[in-house]
Structure 1
Amino acid sequence: MTTTLITGANRGLGFETARRLIEAGHTVYIGARDPQRGKQAAADLGAHYLPLDVTSDESVDAAAEQLDTLDVLINNAGIPGPRKDARDFTAEDFHQVFDLNVYGPVRMIRRFLPLLERSANPVIVNVSSGLGSIAAAVNPDAVATVPVWVPTPAYGASKAALNMLTVQYARQLPNLRINVVDPGYTATDFNGRSGYQTIEEGADIIVRLATIATDGPTAEYLSLHGTVPW
């Protein structure tokens, strides 16, 4: 039985990914900091609720103490941050976004790595965005699955950082399959349901990378359309 933990899985892409992986036979833990929403989502799916705030070392430590095994970690929790003129951004704006979108996965990997390294097929999937592609941002002709010039510099910078973080971990941990994915511009509460993909379509690449074998890809940036330019 494959044991999977998904952060921020009480709605949207995380919820749909959990549903699909349960259908595939995984034992799924939903990490959520809101107990009411987390418990309800777990009950609706037939998953397990795990109290988890990825911005808190204490919360991540407590969550890890509740698991004896882990095969797949999906770092899905994230926030978009403010959308405003570049002149108005503050360091605190960036700090809040990076604390969840970058430092959160760092906390999770550090604390859950001992469990993953005991797995016969350990996998980490970091959920990024096309807005984290520097190549797409500087080249309007580059393949991208979301509009490049969206005024969310804190979010884009955090996802670019997550992409590099993924490669660094993958190179140092060759026994794990560690990849970063761009789900595409998906209609979720995250973007006011303005995306052109369905949640089912957006979750496809996450599920695909969460179910790879030991000879599967690692250190790659992938979408349903193939490799995303870094």
Structure 2
Amino acid sequence: MPKEFSSADIDAVYSVIANRRDVRHFIPGEVSEEVLLRLLTAAHQAPSVGLMQPWRFIRIKDGAVREQICQIVDDERQATAAALGDRGDAFMRLKVEGIRECGEVLVAALMDRRERHVFGRRTLPEMDLASVACAIQNMWLASRAEGLGMGWVSLFDPARLAGLLGIPDGAKPVAILCLGHVTAFYTKPMLELEGWARPASLDALLSTDRWRPDPQPC
């Protein structure tokens, strides 16, 4: 018989999923080595197509390197604001990262192993990236269960960050992960609280048997 979970266990899983947040605001405090190892282990237990395990994690401990990462992110933030046109000023008011404040910074990278792992990738080559995303989500949920905040920062030039961290050809950084203590978790996604965007309902994104076009905005 499959292993059974108690009702409390099941409720806890759904509660962690519902209360996970992309965190940008942190308070000082180190993440213990024991907890960090648990979080990385959770990430490493993620599913991966063909068992390729394409994720690589780089822990940033050097303060000077962390500051250089901040500069890379800020440069892209400025470029994104310029690309947004009329919404640029509103975007610049958003807090998009917590690299300086968080207890730990990790960079998640994708290792291109498609030559060795054709399983599941012949028609969907993106599955290696999907596998890395599963690892990050595992860490996100485990962090929330541990009472720690985590934020996924995607505003950076991948080639520039790869150069800074010595990431070789055939690999690519896909996320800067900020991890640390918080005073409280956002009651809703931060971008919703800031009025930047609203999440769609499940009903709007679910169809049966055939694709249903998205409703036209009013």
What is the TM-score with the length of structure 1 in the denominator? Answer: 0.28
Which of the two has higher C-alpha Rg? 2
Higher relative contact order (CA 8 A, sep 6+): 2
What is the TM-score with the length of structure 2 in the denominator? Answer: 0.29
